[in-house]
Amino acid sequence: MSVTRLTPQREFDIVLIVNGAARRLTVDARTTLLDALRDRLHLAGTKKGCDLGHCGACTVLVQGRRINACLTLAVAHQGEPITTIEGLADGADGLHALQAAFIEHDGFQCGYCTPGQIVSAVGLIAEGRAGSDDEIREHMSGNLCRCGAYPNILAAIRQAAREAA
């Protein structure tokens, strides 16, 4: 059997497409996507809560789908479009509809989970899973809020989902 050989490396020069811009950087193989975004590209809006996939604070969109940036290696996402909280704002007043709805409904207390909640909710609405309160609750279960702002988070997402429909 003749097969191409693999040559694993410890360091990589990569290009990440973040919020529409190509960003060139050198990463260790171990660098998570979350650390690349926060520590290397200085996009600190994406938060680190647990670093284990349990809290959702690090939620970003990769190719339009919500994922936990802490559970994946940066080197594995070369060339894939990545959207962080910093890349959402599109409205006339500079806010995404979900950001405006979170402010209107006071969908936070300390705000630490908020970027993850908002990016996750963008994914939720795109998946068509914001049809009822129960559906929103179930499909936002990957985003924890230690302040317990859940009722207001739910109200904000419900409103944004209606506006998007």
Partner 1 sequence: MVPFAYAAAPSADAAIAHVARRRGAEFIAGGTDMLQLLQEGVRVPAELVDINRLPLDGIEVDTDAVRIGATARMSDVADHPRIRAEYPAVAEALLLSASPQVRNMASIGGNLLQRTRCVYFRDVVTPCNKRAPGSGCSALDGENRLHAILGASPHCIATYAGDLAVALVVLDANVVINGPEGARTLPVEALHRVPGDAPEVETVLEPGDLITAVLIPASAHARRSHYLKVRDRASFEFALVSAAVALDIDAAVIRQARVAVGGVGTKPWRLPAVEHALVGHRVDDELFHAAAARAADGAEPRRHNAFKVELLKRTVERALRTVGSRS
Footprint on this chain of ligand FES (rule: CB under 6 A): 48-51, 53-58, 68, 70, 108-114, 145-147, 149
User: What would the DSSP string read from start to end of 63-94?
Assistant: TTEEEEGGGSBGGGGTT-EEE-GGGT--STTS
Residue type, 55: C
Q: Taking CB under 8 A as the rule, does residue 135 contact partner 1?
A: no
Report 44-63 residues binding ligand FAD (CB under 6 A): 53-54
Distance CA 24, CA 41 (A): 9
Distance CA 98, CA 77 (A): 26
Question: Which residue has the CB atom at the shortest distance from ligand FAD?
Answer: 53
Nearer to ligand FES, 35 or 97 (CB): 35
Binding mask 43-62 for partner 1 (x = CB under 8 A): --------xxx--x--x---
